[in-house]
A and B are shown apart, each in its own frame.
Chain A
Amino acid sequence: MTKISDELQKVPYEPLLPAEKKLIVWSLVLGTLLMGLLIWVSYRFFPGL
């Protein structure tokens, strides 16, 4: 069976591509913006009482 340590040692360094940076940034920005909206909708329409 392949050892994890052996597998990881073979991994070459790959710098972050612009597409990956966009994926990370967009994901975080969308997450932050949606948080405000979803919290408002939750407390306005689904009070849980």
Chain B
Amino acid sequence: MKKWVGTEDLCALWVGLFFFTASLGAIAGIDLLGWAASTQVWIDVRRAIKPVSPAYSEVPAVAALALTYLLSLAAMTAGAVALGMNLKKFALGFSLIFWSSYFCWFLGNCAYIAATPDKLGAFRISWSLRLTGEAGFILALLAGLVLGNFFPRAVSFLQEATRPEWYIKTAIVILGASLGVQAAGAKGLATAILFRGLAAIVEAYLIYWALVYLVARKFFKFSREWAAPLASGISICGVSAAIATGAAIRARPVVPVMVSSLVVIFAVFELILLPFAAQAFLHQEPMVAGAWMGLAVKTDGAAVASGAITDALIRSRALAASGVQYKEGWILMTATTVKVFIDVFIGVWAFILALVWVYAIEKRRHDTVSAGEIWRRFPKFVIGYFLTFLALLLLIIADPGALDAAKLAAAESGIFRVLFFVMTFFTIGLTSNFRKLWEEGIGRLALVYVVCLFGFIIWIGLAISWLFFHGIKPPAV
């Protein structure tokens, strides 16, 4: 049993598939999740929340929200049972994180913060920050950062449920469904994103890793034990890559743990800065911006989250600047696709490094490296992402008449996906304790990180994204 559910990765797969499967009722004519609470951009609080499906329009907003919370709590608590957590602590922590995150999401949807220029008239307001509802993500991150850095007792109380990687992986599994629905309407574009995303990350692996490793070893004089996890953490995919590489080269556990702490902190800076940079400079190349988020921002949570913000910011900017209204989700799809391919290849890269270390660097004669390591390190939630993506894509191709029902199904599971996104932002903030890292004397590691990240990783990532994605545009509404 433990083999099937014993890790956060597998729990994310099953919980994500649970929401996806439940949403399929809308296609089969049994609307199981139609009552889920959809939060609209609002000026009148009473009209902010409504059930996602018209079939449940009679359900009061408060009941819809309460049911949404209860189903999320039930699904995640089942996962917590499988993971052997302290259930009381988890349920309490999850509830507080859920409601704090939701409050931020609700606030972020206030028309004065979120309304795009074309909607100002409808809300009868003369100005807005034009950040779209995704401003709620930023608010959740800031709220989490405040708690994480100034209220350590609160962080300790919420610790059992502070699991950004679990939340984002669950969200990514669910996300596959809505991307599958979109891809059905533009199969050529979706195929191009998949192939080019794969090509981009092959490039990123080969170029990024080698350069960071060289800088860390030659210019900062790090040992191999520190340089390899650092190169993987900075250049590839943050925490997972640092840990996989640490294990592959048999580094002491303290090494990937320290590197991971650094990665999480810097991911917060990237998450705050890069989407706005993309909005300012890449609004005419939306897919380049999406791929850039996937390549440059480390950790699954921060990368996909920055893809979501970039999606909203660029669509808003393109509409204001040139009157083009791109369909929602394509920029996010590009960021997510790049990121999940990176995750897939972590196992392959760790395997290659293990071979190099065992046979060429340390020359351990009696050790062998098994190809099974690749499967063991394969992120299983990625299977869920492709499964939900292909399921809806193939269903619509087989029966084009099911398109509207499939859109409703994706919208229903999407309610929970957004909530997991917001909780990811909030808990990323909670886990980012700047003061603690500073006290530990992080200077030299941080310097390598800054030099590599801002010196060339961001720019090479941008160049690779541009090479593979320039000129490709999301479909217009």
Chain A interface residues toward B at CB < 8 A: 1-8, 11-14, 16-17, 19-20, 22-25, 27-28, 30-32, 34-35, 38-39, 41-42, 45-49
Contact = CB atoms under 8 A, between A and B. Distances in A.
Nearest to A42: B196
Given A7-B254, A20-B224, A38 B199 contact: yes
21 contacts: A4-B441, A8-B445, A11-B223, A13-B221, A17-B361, A19-B356, A20-B217, A27-B207, A28-B207, A31-B207, A34-B203, A35-B464, A35-B467, A38-B203, A38-B468, A39-B467, A39-B468, A42-B195, A42-B199, A46-B192, A46-B196
Interface extent on B, as a size class?
35 or more
A31 B206 contact: yes
Nearest to B206: A31
A46 B194 CA distance: 9
Given A27-B207, A31-B210, A19 B361 contact: yes
Given A46-B191, A48-B188, A2 B254 contact: yes
Given A4-B445, A6-B441, A19-B360, 18 more contacts: A2-B254, A5-B443, A7-B255, A8-B444, A11-B222, A11-B226, A12-B223, A20-B213, A23-B356, A23-B360, A24-B213, A25-B210, A31-B205, A35-B203, A38-B202, A41-B195, A42-B196, A48-B193
Contacts of A34: 202-203, 206
Contacts of A48: 188-189, 192-193, 196, 471-472
Contacts, number: 105
Nearest to A25: B210
Given A3-B440, A4-B440, A23-B356, A49 B189 contact: yes
Contacts of B205: 31
B450 interface: no
B87 interface: no
Interface of B: 188-189, 191-193, 195-196, 199, 202-203, 205-207, 209-211, 213-214, 217-218, 221-226, 254-255, 258, 356, 360-361, 437, 440-445, 464, 467-468, 471-472
What does DSSP make chain B's interface, helix, strand, loop or mixed? helix
**Interface class of chain A by DSSP:** helix
A31 B195 contact: no
Contacts of A4: 258, 437, 440-442, 445
Nearest to B226: A11
Contacts of B221: 11, 13
Contacts of A46: 191-192, 195-196
B224 A41 contact: no
Contacts of B196: 42, 46, 48
A27 B441 contact: no
A27 B356 contact: no
A20 B227 CA distance: 11
A41 to B, nearest CB: 7
A17 B203 CA distance: 24
Contacts of B193: 48
A12 B205 CA distance: 28
A20 B361 contact: yes
